[in-house]
Structure 1
Amino acid sequence: MTVAELYLSDVRGRMRGVKALGEAALAQLRDSEWHTPLAPDGNSAAVLAAHLAGNMHSRWGALRGGYCAGAEGESAGRNRDAEFEEGTLDAATLRAVWDAGWQVFLDALDHLTPEDLTRPLTIRGEVHTVLEAIQRQVAHYSGHVYQLILLVRTLRGQAWQTLSIARGGSAAYNAARLSESGGSG
């Protein structure tokens, strides 16, 4: 397997993992809390979902079926500023917006080939390789998903269900992993 093949395989799996973390946080959010920011001028879960979806459609919509020469990673119809305005969409609609955005991004990743990674993709007039564009979005999307996790974690307080190894649970987790793998530590 080439490095490019390994990279595409890894980034596809990792971004599905980032999406799953976000979904696990959103599952703990009460419907009435989607529009609740942690501070004035902060982003609510609704704003984060709308912004992520808008970015994903804009950056990756032209590549859903594979690389397309001359593709622009900023669609003309996108209104980025509106993504940061608090709307009135209900929880079910916001989940659908979230899902649709991720579907576009993951479809594009799934259709890219190793040869595509060095090809040009323009975002707001700036030329990137497809690899650079992916890395830019990995950082961007992960950052917003972790904002979302912090937001929901704060809103849940003591009722939060961890998305990782619980505090004080590392030794038990490691022991379980070793016994599953047949390792002796």
Structure 2
Amino acid sequence: MSIYLDSLKKRLLSYRELAEKTFAQLNDEQIHWQPAGDPNSIYIIVKHMSGNMLSRFTDFLTTDGEKPWRKRDAEFEDNEPEATKADMTAIWNKGWDCLLQTLDSLTDADLSKIIHIRTEPLIVIDALNRQLGHYPYHVGQIVYLGKIMKAGNWQSLSIPKGQSQQFNDQKAAGK
């Protein structure tokens, strides 16, 4: 695998981990919670991300990334309010499995090929960069919703407030 593909996979997996650390802090009800104004719940975001991954990365090099079987609008409906975190995680993993299998199959030579997303021609590396922008955008939404719901009980996913110097000192000391 190329340096680029290794880097891309590492970045994507780091965002996956942030979302999964958020999921771990929530219960079945919280994954369906939506703040006022009709924004998406975590469950809806996960359905959308998985649908996008399955559509984009199934037959990645040979068919348009917007598959005829994808029902994108339905991804934004919470028509399964009884769905559990386990159900949501299965949806999540299905998308990630497809994405990661495709990434693992790509070669350096594939990076300059042309693929299509909604009939738009894209160089493979550009299509991958497009997804590298899309998925962290939604992971940020997931983390933000989790943080709002957990309020004072939120377990920081990075350096907690007021602990930057302590973190830097530990890194410098090799801990």
> Under TM normalisation by the shorter chain, which class is it?
over 0.9
- Gaps spanning 5+ residues in structure 1: where? none
- Gap regions ≥5 residues in structure 2: none
Runs of 4+ in structure 1 deviating by more than 2 angstroms, as ranges, are none
Instruction: Tell me whether 1:74 sits opposite 2:66 in the alignment.
Output: yes
Work out which of the residue numbers 96, 118, 122 in structure 2 matches 1:102: 96
How big is each residue's C-alpha offset from its partner over 1:24-54, in whole Å with a ceiling of 9 and x where there is no partner?
0111111111111122321001100000000
Q: Map residues 153-168 of structure 1 onto 2, 5 A cutoff.
A: 153-168=147-162
Q: TM-score, normalised by structure 2?
A: 0.95
**2:124 paired residue among 123, 127, 130:** 130
The answer to which of 126-135 and 88-97 deviates more is 88-97
Q: Aligned letter for 1:138?
A: L
Deviations along 1:5-29, one digit per CA (max 9) or x if unpaired, are 2211111111011100110011111
Equivalence for 2:45:
48
- The reply to whether residue 90 of structure 1 matches residue 84 of structure 2 is yes
1:144 aligns with 2:138: yes
Q: Which residue of 2 aligns with 1:58?
A: 55
Alpha-carbon distance between aligned partners in 2 of 1:107 and 1:157, rounded to the nearest angstrom: 36
**Given the alignment of the two structures, is residue 119 of structure 1 paired with residue 101 of structure 2, yes or no?**
no
The whole-number CA distance in structure 2 between the counterparts of 1:94 and 1:9 is 27
Comparing 12-21 with 81-90, greater Cα deviation is found at: 81-90
2:31 matched to which residue of 1?
Answer: 34
Q: TM (normalized to structure 1)?
A: 0.90
2: CA distance between counterparts of 1:90 and 1:149?
A: 18
1:46 maps to amino acid: Y
User: 1:25 is matched with which residue: 22, 37, 52?
Assistant: 22
Let me know the Cα RMSD of the aligned residues: 1.3
What percentage of residue pairs aligned between the two structures are identical?
Answer: 36
Secondary structure (helix, strand or coil) at the match of 1:121 reads strand
Distance 1:174 1:150 in 2: 25
